Chains A and B, each alone.
Chain A
């Protein structure tokens, strides 16, 4: 630092603290609402300190869910988890394989394959959502985990990241492994993948969050309660008149939907930041 002034330093803390208050306040309010009864929340102004109904509300949200929904938060959590893990693991596995082929093998159409994957970077799923829906429904995959996961597994980002990493692996390692008599798949499984664990962890964090937070896609293809994810459940609970909404259950479910991805970011912050800024290149 070049200048030292007390006021300047105070203002730095002030702005950062203010930003954190603005970030935390909406979430604090959700927590508060999840500890009161619906009547308390509906009586304006709503209380801004936690109430005594925490255990009761969360038990109900997890066990049965709101009356107009027909799905418990526990079921929806399971669905969100299956979708998030399926998307994250699926993307990582197929991208590792494809990047391995593209970097370590010479074969006809190699650059054709590379560019076909590359162009998928350009079109987020949102802009081709309707035709993708039609394909999935023609395949009979609506209301199924496969239907939730497979179309989201397209990922140019992961192929890029792994390709970039593979290109920095010294060729001598591959040569040595071949001289030792190991086949290409043994080299891949026993040497290359273990070497790649840092980029894999980074990719996992980002894709897990991406998968957990999917909204438009599950909204289209899940019509049965059995396959609702948390975010879809929250939307359905809120789509009635204000007075009929069981706010305390909605808010408890919202908090439950926030916790897993936040935990992943906080616990794996280093990998997360690395993964984000590495994919930029």
Chain B
């Protein structure tokens, strides 16, 4: 099983659970599995084209998946995944 830590904004979808377990062979797989168990979660993590949203960070065993193989990063039994929103406070001058 893979342990997935769920950030606060997604907890309404996991009945308040901060950590869930799932079976998955890759990050992509995990997103699908989470979506089956907690419908709607994929839309929050991915945009219309299926890419991870800009402000979503995913870490496998504390390593940013952008340093691994992105969505294709493989997972094995016992891995721990964290989903963490980026903490931008940015702006543009256009209001």
- Tell me, yes or no, whether A binds B: no
**Contact residues of A with B, CB < 8 Å?**
none
* B residues in contact (CB < 8 Å) with A: none
